[in-house]
């Protein structure tokens, strides 16, 4: 991967050429001297390739959509061994398939990512949960702990894309200050420093996994009640699974996906990604379960935990407060049957286990499209041999 981790800013064209082997923190550091940044990962250790082809949650989703929406060109090694530049005019079907479809279409060696002017100072707060949405802001709530049910944590990472957020009632973070956090790391810092600091709380583990599913952000008090019920189920199940074992770590993360963020990405290239997000159904939330442990004997137990808690979440999201729409849902934009589908779909590929139904969660139209594209560019199933989320 060392040979494909370079970063080159093409200032006169408004994009950067980034090797798929790079890590996002290195991308941001390379671009900062040029006063620009790209839409990418929120943690220093995350690699470019997997995040960008699987969707890509970023602090800039509200303004510019997902990371995959901001790819202008892919350099791809195809199944027949040829190297192709894939964009809106060259292989447009493959171009769209790579915007969230995963790794089943070829090996992406370089991404041309749209750049955005970025002041060197941005506001970052790690403190509480956000209730109001501002396109300049982004947040995610992380809750978890270990084997002791009396010890747990709640972290909320909040980002504002300016030198400081608004003051008074216009400040989307006002409720956080009122919550009196145990620790407040509010500071003004550049983007690469923010991304690096996000890794500070991560404990390196030899064995870990990520699984997840989707919740609606229900209107009124129902949304908070839904999250609380799922957290209680997660906490109780984690305590029972750990049974006093100090080597097991559990965390549950809530990542809001506002309908504005769903719309923003299509404005970049005019090409709609394949993730299956439906703005008309209203705001959504992606749930991420991150588990870590030390001993191989716990592998099956931890995988089973993730599958079970995800099923609990799906059942809860389907049955809780029936008929209550998501916030910012557009009346009549989706049918009642479609509204039920979007209560638990689409799933985020970056946050899913391979056994979870990511493919069908994208919706029948997108799933059919991706199957067709994979068959066209990999008729002999070469890339299927490497695993991943298979489309046929």
Nearest Cα neighbor of 101 from 375, 366, 295 is: 366
Residues of the chain with CATH 3.30.465.10: 2-118
Point out the residues of the chain with pLDDT beneath 50.
120-133, 145-152
DSSP 3-state percent helix, strand, coil across the chain (nearest 5)? 35, 25, 40
Taking the C-alpha atoms of residue 8 and residue 34, their distance in angstroms, rounded to an integer, is 11
Read off the DSSP letter of residue 170: G
What is the signed CA dihedral for 264, 270, 273, 276, rounded to 10 degrees? 70
Which pLDDT value is given to residue 272? Answer: 96
218: which strand partners? 326
Instruction: Please tell me the distance from the alpha carbon of residue 271 to that of residue 100, in angstroms, as a whole number.
Output: 12
Task: Report the 10 Å Cβ neighbour count for 383.
Answer: 20
What pLDDT score does 147 carry? 44
Q: Which CATH class is domain 2-118?
A: alpha beta
CATH number assigned to the domain with residue range 122-361, chosen from the 4 options 3.40.50.300, 2.30.30.40, 3.40.462.20, 3.30.70.260: 3.40.462.20
* 150-168 pLDDT per residue, tens: 444 566 666 556 556 666 6
Question: How many angstroms separate the most distant Cα atoms in the chain?
Answer: 60
pLDDT (tens digit per residue) in 252-293: 988 889 898 899 999 999 999 999 999 999 999 999 999 999
Sheet containing 83-86, strands listed edge to edge, beginning at the edge strand earlier in sequence = 7-10, 15-19, 107-114, 71-77, 83-86
Q: Which element (helix H / strand E) includes 152?
A: strand 152-160
- CATH 3.40.462.20 positions along the chain are 122-361
Q: In the beta sheet, which residues pair with residue 159?
A: 124, 138
The helix/strand/coil state of 205 is coil
The owner of tokens 């209107």 is: 219
List the alpha helices (DSSP H) in the chain. Answer: 24-31, 48-54, 61-64, 92-97, 174-178, 191-198, 222-242, 259-264, 266-269, 299-319, 336-341, 358-361, 364-377
Give the number of other Cβ atoms within 10 Å of residue 85's Cβ.
14
CA distance 41 to 23: 9
Q: What is the structure's pLDDT at 362? A: 98
Tokens of 213: 């599913």
Structure tokens that stand for 173 in this block = 């973070």
Residue-wise pLDDT tens digits, 3-46: 689 999 999 999 999 999 999 999 999 999 999 999 999 888 89
What pLDDT was estimated at residue 112? 99
| Dihedral, CA of residue 243, residue 247, residue 248 and residue 250, to nearest 10 | 120
Task: Report the alpha-carbon distance of residue 217 to residue 211 in Å, rounded.
Answer: 19
> pTM for the full model?
0.82
């Amino acid at each position: 991967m060392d040979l494909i981790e370079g970063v080159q800013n093409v200032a006169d064209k408004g994009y950067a050429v980034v090797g798929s082997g790079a890590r996002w923190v290195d991308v941001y550091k390379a671009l900062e001297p040029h006063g620009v940044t790209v839409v990418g990962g929120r943690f220093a250790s995350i690699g470019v390739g997997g995040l960008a082809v699987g969707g890509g949650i970023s602090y800039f989703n509200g303004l510019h959509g997902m990371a995959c929406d901001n790819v202008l060109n892919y350099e791809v090694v195809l199944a027949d061994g040829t190297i192709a530049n894939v964009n809106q005019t060259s292989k447009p079907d493959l171009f769209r398939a790579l915007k969230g479809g995963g790794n089943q279409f070829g090996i992406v060696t370089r991404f041309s990512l749209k750049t955005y002017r970025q002041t060197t100072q941005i506001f970052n707060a790690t403190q509480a949960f956000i209730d109001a949405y501002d396109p300049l802001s982004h947040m995610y709530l992380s809750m978890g702990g270990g084997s002791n049910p009396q010890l747990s944590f709640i972290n909320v990472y909040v980002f504002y894309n300016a030198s400081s957020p608004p003051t008074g009632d216009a400040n989307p973070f006002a409720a956080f200050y009122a919550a009196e956090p145990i620790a407040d790391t509010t500071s003004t810092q550049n983007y690469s420093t923010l991304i690096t600091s996000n890794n500070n709380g991560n404990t390196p583990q030899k064995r870990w996994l990520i699984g997840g599913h989707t919740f609606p952000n229900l209107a009124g008090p129902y949304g908070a009640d839904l999250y609380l019920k799922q957290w209680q189920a997660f906490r109780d199940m984690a305590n029972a699974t750990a049974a006093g074992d100090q080597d097991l770590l559990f965390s549950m993360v809530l990542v809001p996906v506002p309908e504005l963020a769903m719309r923003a990405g299509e404005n970049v290239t005019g090409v709609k990604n394949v993730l299956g997000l439906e703005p008309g159904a209203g705001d959504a939330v992606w749930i991420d379960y991150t588990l870590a442990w030390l001993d191989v004997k716990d592998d099956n137990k931890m995988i089973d935990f993730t599958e079970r808690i995800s099923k609990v979440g799906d059942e809860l999201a389907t049955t809780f407060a029936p008929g209550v729409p998501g916030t910012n849902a557009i009346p009549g934009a989706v049918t009642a049957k479609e509204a039920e589908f979007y209560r638990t779909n689409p799933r985020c590929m970056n946050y899913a286990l391979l056994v979870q139904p990511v493919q069908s969660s994208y919706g029948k139209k997108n799933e059919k499209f991706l199957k067709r594209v994979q068959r066209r560019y990999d008729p002999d199933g070469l890339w299927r041999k490497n695993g991943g989320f298979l489309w046929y």
